[in-house]
């Protein structure tokens, strides 16, 4: 029998990121995937700044950027009758504005899924050798009070092996076997439109070199399509929208017809085209009714399915992994009560619902769901969702209230007000450590971190108490220097005050000034975070 602390089902970006995160928190999982290897299709491509912060903290950012599409292609979206024909409109995404770039030490990155997954796989296997099994699917499962049992089946020879895990994380996609087995329903809009993704090798430089864009949306009377930039030269995703509205079906969209559509969308009837893959899919906007059942947790598309309008699906999923991994590791290490895991649903499901709704409204605003004569341009929020990217504010037992009110913005989709209010992402502020310029984001992401204002030396013995997890302490003015004089205001504290950031970079606890007994205050905060005084969150 295979025994593992955590079984992860599905080796897409979410499953692989979960494996990396757990390993970095000291837990070696087992990851199984029914396919023979990582994805061979581009699929998702856009990695937003919040996710890149996460990969920066994991030590993966540089590898992803080196392999991703050239950055100049991420600065524009273009509508045209064909690549060679009349241009209809251009849009510069608000995510690339100076205001957005000031929110983080990192920017967005375009890296298609077939390129990203091997990078994640390499890091996952380096941290946990022999921890990934391809050609292996979960074929049966059951759970009891102490763990999850079931059967794994080899998809090549049909052989089976039983397993036992303390916990199971289902990252097995929109048609999740695990979710269906548990009978967890979903709420939202199902099968909004049907589409096909075609992975294309064709040299499109004559039509794109002088106007680089992340997306080229083609609007023609007899079909609507999108070119998705992979490398900006000879590899492209080609997405045909609303197949049934134009009389297309799986049966009549042969490789020859797909090739003809690519040439028609380019406006070059003799263009050499090589098809590398074809994948049919239906667009939905759905959220699972709960993200966990006992010792089993849903993540990524198994938990929430977004429309592609805005590029949130993969980002939402890998951020699930970041949220869940540190909590599960703390429970497995015996530091936290299992009730900590209830906060995964309490924090991630409301945020997922907000994101899924936003992508649905994006899609509806420029209507890629039906046949129409003229192109419709998207709503102003499209690709300007700074609030959704940075502004999630968690309310759960894994956050200790400090009596203050969370920041209020006029539009939570587009607007973001940096704040160290408990439950919010710890804001980016530039600091100096020795001779190096670092962001507060660079100090976070692996374990608990206490950022203390000047005159905060009393926090040093407080963080070293027995019974607490390892905590990194950075005193502003001693360990790091506030070179721009912004930290106190950004974090909402005075001299002697402190902010505790969780391993996922969100604020767990804040005190505006030095308490009379820092050690006791700190112990009480962790008592709240790790189980004492915690209550199960409502589903």
pLDDT band at 535 (very low <50, low <70, confident <90, very high): very low
Q: Do 383 and 402 share a structural domain?
A: no
Whether residue 433 sits in one domain with residue 318: no
CATH code assigned at 466: 3.40.30.120
Residue 225 lies in a domain: no
Note the pTM of the prediction, 2 decimals. Answer: 0.96
Residue 209 lies in a domain: no
**Residues 445, 505: contact at Cβ < 8 Å?**
yes
User: Is the domain of 381 the same as that of 413?
Assistant: no
CB under 8 A, 24+ apart: contacts of 479-483: 479/433, 480/431, 480/432, 480/433, 480/438, 480/443, 481/431, 481/432, 481/433, 482/429, 482/431, 483/430, 483/431, 483/432, 483/437
270 lies in some domain: no
pLDDT of residue 371 exceeding 80:
no
Q: Is a pLDDT exceeding 70 seen at residue 92?
A: yes
Residue 401 and residue 382 share a domain: no
**Cα dihedral 316/318/323/329 (nearest 10):** 160
Percent with pLDDT over 70 in the chain: 97
Give 23-82 pLDDT, tens digit per residue: 999 999 999 999 999 999 898 999 999 999 999 999 999 999 999 999 999 999 999 999
Q: What is the per-residue pLDDT for 229?
A: 96
What's the mean pLDDT in 187-193?
A: 95
Residue at a domain's end among 367, 388, 409: 388
Question: What pLDDT score does 2 carry?
Answer: 96
Q: Which pLDDT band holds residue 372 (cuts at 50, 70, 90)?
A: low
Six token digits for residue 293 = 């059942």
Statement: residue 534 has pLDDT above 60: no
Task: Out of 388, 415, 432, pick the residue that ends a domain.
Answer: 388
Per-residue model confidence (pLDDT) at position 532: 62
Q: Which helix (H) or strand (E) holds 460?
A: helix 459-463
Residue 238 lies inside a defined structural domain of this protein: no
Question: What is residue 94's predicted lDDT score, i.e. its pLDDT?
Answer: 81
Q: Are residues 351 and 470 in the same domain?
A: no
Instruction: Point out which residues pair with 80 in neighbouring strands.
Output: 87, 218
Structural tokens at position 343: 């906060």
* Residue 300: pLDDT over 80: yes
Whether 210 maps to a domain, the answer reads: no
In this structure, are 63 and 121 located in the same domain? yes
Whether residues 463 and 485 share a domain: the answer is yes
Give the number of domains in the chain. Answer: 2
Does 102 fall in a domain?
Answer: no
21 and 130, same domain (yes or no)? yes
Same domain, 8 and 131: yes
In a domain, 163, yes or no: yes
Find the domain containing 494 and state its range.
393-529
The whole-chain average pLDDT of the chain stands at 94
User: Could you give the CA distance from residue 141 to residue 36 in angstroms, rounded to a whole number?
Assistant: 22
Assess if residue 479 is contained within a domain. yes
**End-of-domain residue from the set 388, 407, 435:** 388
């Amino acid at each position: 029998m295979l025994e593992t602390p955590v079984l992860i089902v599905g080796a897409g970006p979410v499953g692989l990121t979960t494996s990396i995160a757990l390993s970095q928190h000291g837990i070696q999982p087992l990851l199984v995937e029914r396919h023979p290897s990582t994805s061979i299709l581009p699929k998702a491509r856009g990695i937003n700044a919040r996710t890149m912060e996460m990969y920066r903290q994991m030590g993966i950012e540089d590898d992803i950027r080196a392999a991703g599409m050239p950055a100049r292609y991420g600065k524009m979206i273009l509508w045209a009758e064909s690549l060679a024909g009349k241009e209809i409109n251009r849009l510069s995404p608000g995510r690339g504005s100076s205001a957005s770039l000031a929110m983080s030490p990192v920017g967005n990155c375009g890296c298609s899924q077939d390129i990203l997954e091997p990078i994640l796989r390499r890091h996952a296997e380096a941290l946990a050798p022999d921890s990934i099994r391809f050609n292996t699917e979960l074929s049966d499962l059951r759970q009891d009070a102490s763990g999850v049992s079931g059967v794994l089946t080899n998809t090549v020879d049909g052989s089976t092996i039983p397993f036992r895990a303390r916990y199971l994380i289902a990252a097995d996609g929109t048609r999740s076997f695990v979710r269906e087995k548990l009978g967890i329903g979903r709420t939202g809009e199902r099968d909004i439109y049907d589409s096909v993704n075609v992975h294309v090798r064709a040299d499109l430089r004559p039509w794109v070199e002088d106007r680089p864009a992340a997306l080229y949306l083609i609007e023609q009377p007899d079909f609507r399509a999108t070119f998705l930039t992979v490398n900006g030269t000879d590899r492209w995703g080609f997405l045909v929208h609303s197949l049934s509205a134009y009389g297309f079906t799986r049966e009549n969209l042969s490789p020859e017809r797909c090739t003809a559509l690519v040439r028609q969308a380019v406006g070059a009837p003799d263009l050499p085209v090589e098809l590398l893959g074809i994948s049919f899919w239906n667009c939905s906007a759905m959220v699972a009714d709960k993200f966990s059942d006992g010792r089993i947790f849903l993540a990524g598309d198994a938990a929430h399915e977004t429309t592609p309008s805005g590029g949130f699906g993969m980002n939402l999923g890998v951020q699930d992994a970041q949220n869940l991994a540190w909590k599960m590791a703390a429970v497995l290490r015996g530091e936290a009560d299992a009730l900590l895991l209830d906060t995964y649903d309490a924090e991630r499901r409301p945020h997922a619902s907000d994101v899924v709704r936003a992508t649905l409204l994006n899609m509806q605003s420029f209507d890629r769901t039906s046949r129409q004569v003229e192109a419709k341009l998207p709503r102003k929020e499209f690709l300007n969702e700074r609030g959704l990217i940075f502004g999630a504010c968690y309310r759960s037992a894994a956050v200790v209230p400090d009596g203050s009110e969370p920041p209020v913005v006029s539009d939570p989709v587009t607007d973001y007000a940096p704040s160290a209010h408990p439950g919010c992402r710890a804001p980016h502020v530039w600091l100096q450590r020795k001779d190096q310029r670092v962001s507060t984001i660079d100090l976070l992401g692996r374990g608990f971190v206490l950022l203390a204002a000047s005159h905060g030396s009393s926090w040093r013995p407080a963080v070293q108490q027995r019974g607490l997890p390892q905590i990194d302490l950075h005193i502003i003015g001693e360990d790091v220097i506030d070179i721009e004089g912004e930290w106190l205001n950004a974090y909402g504290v005075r001299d002697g005050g402190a902010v505790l950031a969780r391993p996922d970079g969100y604020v767990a606890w804040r005190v505006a000034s030095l308490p009379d007994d820092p050690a006791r205050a700190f112990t009480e905060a962790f008592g709240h975070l790790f189980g004492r005084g915690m209550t199960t969150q409502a589903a």
